[in-house]
Structure 1
Amino acid sequence: MRVAARVFNERGYDGTSMEDLARALGVTKSAIYHHVSGKTELLRRSLDLALDALFAVTREESSTTGPAIDRLENVLHGSVRVLVEQLPHVTLLLRVRGNTEVEKHALARRREFDHLVADLVREGIAAGEIRDDVDPAVASRLLFGMVNSIVEWYKPDRGLDADELADSLARIAFRGLRTQGGGEGRSDGARPRSGSGPGRSPD
């Protein structure tokens, strides 16, 4: 399953043949057909593997009990863990475009997951745990935009493990980058002007 997902990611699902899969697996096409009906079934199983793992996170005790903000943080943390553990399958999930019935079903389940996250944000706002000047749908998309971006740069064989990565992301998402003594910020909400400081190339 992991090899099939990797090949789909590399070549695209439509551009992958059973011959490509057999070559990558080092087996004959008939050996693959002994286990699955074809590449459509491999796609469905791969996407379901990723989605089932994500929905399992939402059913964990820490995701269903306690303050909404804590439940939201647990879902985010668990989603990073799933992404790292099931990287090829989650990557494939994030790249489907609804070109087949299998993909359409996967996208519908993704939207259901997104709604669960947005509902947690709404609960947090109603309880006074989350600031009320953010749109719940936008907040959930931004949070999981950070999570989903991990597939583009994360290398399992070096750097942070799943928990360290999730802790870093949660720290930034829920507590921000600024230290308590790291400047006063702007009371008018305006962005600071560009200047010649760090991060800006001199003219």
Structure 2
Amino acid sequence: MTTSPRRRGHDPESVLRTAVGVFNERGYDGTSMEDLARALGVTKSAIYYHVPGKEQLLARALDRALDGLFEMIADERASSGRAIDRLEWVVRRSVAILVDRLPYVTLLLRVHGNSPTELRALERRREFDRFVSALVKEAAADGDIRPDIDPALVTRLLFGTVNSITEWYQPGRGATADDVAEAIVRISFDGLRV
């Protein structure tokens, strides 16, 4: 008899959460549907009750990571006021989103464009990067960022720092998301401001 993920306490959300954990542990390409079934304690066919395949789980996971960023840049606080203040707000919110969606963002940062789903996610990441780069350029044009630092480099360094959180942050152990955001903003913006 086949055990349904629902009967074992699984719903689409728990299937996704478990899949993301396995993808992060084994790598997306190194994870089979059998690996996912084993992690869920069900048969492969039971997973297909919730999703057509592994690629759809990846798409949902990557959207979970990216949707938070795009909701943030649609917020009025990302589009009104001085560019330097908006940039600081975006950095703080990005840290909060990353910490809140840590496994999903970790997976996003590990994709390489090996599938149409990964390519779509990478294009969305580039779109977000362009938004941030425009903020940095605007802050530089306003005279709020030191003119001797290339705005493209500022963007890479800021978000390289934010993205590195996926490698070391452990929720509930030490600093909170607000603590981390405050440290990044102080260190980065104190060096950037004129």
TM over 0.5: yes
> Given the alignment, which residue of 62, 67, 82 partners 2:82?
67
> Given the alignment, which residue of 52, 67, 75 partners 2:67?
52
List alignment gaps of at least 5 residues for structure 2: 1-15
Give me the whole-angstrom Cα distance separating, in 1, the residues matched to 2:24 and 2:108. 10
Deviations 1:158-198 (A, max 9, x none): 1112112111111111124xxxxxxxxxxxxxxxxxxxxxx
Other-structure match for 1:170: 185
Give 1:84-163 correspondences, 5 Å limit: 84-163=99-178
Instruction: State the TM-score, normalizing by the size of structure 1.
Output: 0.84
Instruction: State the TM-score, normalizing by the size of structure 2.
Output: 0.87
Give me the whole-angstrom Cα distance separating, in 2, the residues matched to 1:26 and 1:76. 39
Larger deviation, residues 56-65 vs 13-22: 56-65
List alignment gaps of at least 5 residues for structure 1: 177-203
- 3-state SS, counterpart of residue 27 of structure 1: coil
Other-structure match for 1:19: 34
Q: Does 1:29 align with 2:44?
A: yes
- 3-state SS, counterpart of residue 88 of structure 2: helix
- 3-state SS, counterpart of residue 128 of structure 1: coil
Identity %: 62
Deviations 1:101-153 (A, max 9, x none): 11111111111111110100110011111112211111100000000111111
> Given the alignment, which residue of 82, 86, 109 partners 2:97?
82
* 4+ residue runs over 3 A deviation: none
Give me the whole-angstrom Cα distance separating, in 1, the residues matched to 2:89 and 2:65. 17
What is the RMSD of the two structures over their aligned residues, measured on CA atoms? 1.1
Give me the whole-angstrom Cα distance separating, in 2, the residues matched to 1:110 and 1:143. 15
Give me the whole-angstrom Cα distance separating, in 1, the residues matched to 2:63 and 2:27. 18
Other-structure match for 1:188: none
What's the CA shift for 1:26?
Answer: 2.4
- 3-state SS, counterpart of residue 14 of structure 1: coil
Deviations 1:11-36 (A, max 9, x none): 01111011111121223222211111
Q: Radius of gyration: which is bigger?
A: 1
Other-structure match for 2:10: none
Count of aligned positions: 176
